[in-house]
């Protein structure tokens, strides 16, 4: 019960890492507030958590919109009385063209979904956490936010994921005295919709990792649990690698 009675926002909860995290955090005693655009999937997730005697609510929306960040915090307050932690996890890969071929629209979309959303999230989560006397914020970056390792087509994605590391470090400096911690999690290749469902691609990605496999979303959720819970009470400003060693191999 590492998150007993803590209220946690989780974005990107309609699938993959976010859905696994919502199930895990609820099982660890958290009140979870889940978000993404696909409402039907959020409804299914909430029903599953409640069936397991957990506590969950959802609101669907687009994290590109500042109003959605406000809505998630308001829901945490109205349903559960406040906000203790946030797993700002939603993200997209976007087009993987080399930069000269990349459309500006793709650049703007990837930055808006992956990075500007994190600014909106923190902007509205921090005042709510201050009201509680502290909290923990986590952003899902990626191994490519730390070391691109020669992979091509990662220009917009890598820029957005590196930006999250800088944002978390700044938040750590600015709000440590408020008892608020801010960290990033850098997963390696993980078997979710983002990685597609082509076995040949999975095999190629798995081979890049010293562990010779991809992660299950539940394994990344465990790392997020550590960073959001009091188990990591002295960890802030950290970019925690949970990547099966891929960044060592690529560095």
Ligand X SMILES: NC(=O)c1ccc[n+]([C@@H]2O[C@H](COP(=O)([O-])OP(=O)(O)OC[C@H]3O[C@@H](n4cnc5c(N)ncnc54)[C@H](OP(=O)(O)O)[C@@H]3O)[C@@H](O)[C@H]2O)c1
Give residues in contact with ligand X (CB under 6 A). 11-18, 36-38, 62-64, 89-92, 113, 140, 142, 187, 189-190, 192-195, 217
Q: Does the annotation mark 68 as catalytic?
A: no
Residue 39 CB, shortest distance to ligand X, in Å, is 8
The CA radius of gyration of the chain, in Å to the nearest whole number, is 17
207-to-12, 99, 125, 149 alpha-carbon distances in Å = 27, 26, 39, 14
Q: How far apart are the first and last CA of the chain?
A: 37
Residue 5 CB, shortest distance to ligand X, in Å, is 25
Residue 21 CB, shortest distance to ligand X, in Å, is 9
Residue 9 CB, shortest distance to ligand X, in Å, is 12
> Is 129 or 144 the residue whose CB approaches ligand X more closely?
144
H or E, element range at 137: strand 135-140
> Is 39 or 230 the residue whose CB approaches ligand X more closely?
39
- State the helix-helix crossing angle for 117-132 and 66-80, rounded to 10 degrees: 30
> Is 92 or 102 the residue whose CB approaches ligand X more closely?
92
Q: Which residues face 125 on adjacent strands?
A: none
Residue 78 CB, shortest distance to ligand X, in Å, is 20
> Is 96 or 179 the residue whose CB approaches ligand X more closely?
96
Catalytic residue among 72, 147, 157, 168: 157
Question: For the stretch 68-90, what's the b/e string if a residue is b when 16 or more beta carbons lie within 10 angstroms of its beta carbon?
Answer: bbebbbebbeeebebbbbbbbbb
> Is 129 or 241 the residue whose CB approaches ligand X more closely?
241
59-to-12, 41, 153, 166, 170 alpha-carbon distances in Å = 12, 11, 33, 28, 29
C-alpha angle 238/190/33, rounded to 5°? 65
- What token pair was written down for 137? 């914020």
Residues labelled catalytic: 157
């Amino acid at each position: 019960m590492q998150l007993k009675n803590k209220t946690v926002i989780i974005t990107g909860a309609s699938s993959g890492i976010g859905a696994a995290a919502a199930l895990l955090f609820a099982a660890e005693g958290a009140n979870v507030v889940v978000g993404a655009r696909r409402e039907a999937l959020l409804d299914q997730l909430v029903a599953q958590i409640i069936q397991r005697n957990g506590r969950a609510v959802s609101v669907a929306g687009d994290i590109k919109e500042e109003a959605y960040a406000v809505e998630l915090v308001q829901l945490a307050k109205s349903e559960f009385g406040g906000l203790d932690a946030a797993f700002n996890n939603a993200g997209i890969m976007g087009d993987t063209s080399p930069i000269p071929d990349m459309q500006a629209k793709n650049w703007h979309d990837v930055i808006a979904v992956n990075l500007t959303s994190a600014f909106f999230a923190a902007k509205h989560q921090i005042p709510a956490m201050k009201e509680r006397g502290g909290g923990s914020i986590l952003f899902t970056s990626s191994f490519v936010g730390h070391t691109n390792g020669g992979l091509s087509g990662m220009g917009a994605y890598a820029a957005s994921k590196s930006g999250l590391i800088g944002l978390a470090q700044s938040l750590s400096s600015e709000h440590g005295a408020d008892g608020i911690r801010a960290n990033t999690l850098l997963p390696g290749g993980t078997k979710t919709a983002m990685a597609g469902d082509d076995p040949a691609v999975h095999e190629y990605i798995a081979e890049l990792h010293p562990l010779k496999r991809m992660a299950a979303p539940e394994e990344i959720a465990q790392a997020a649990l550590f960073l959001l819970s009091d188990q990591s009470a002295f960890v802030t400003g950290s970019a925690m690698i949970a990547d099966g060693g891929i960044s060592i191999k690529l560095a």
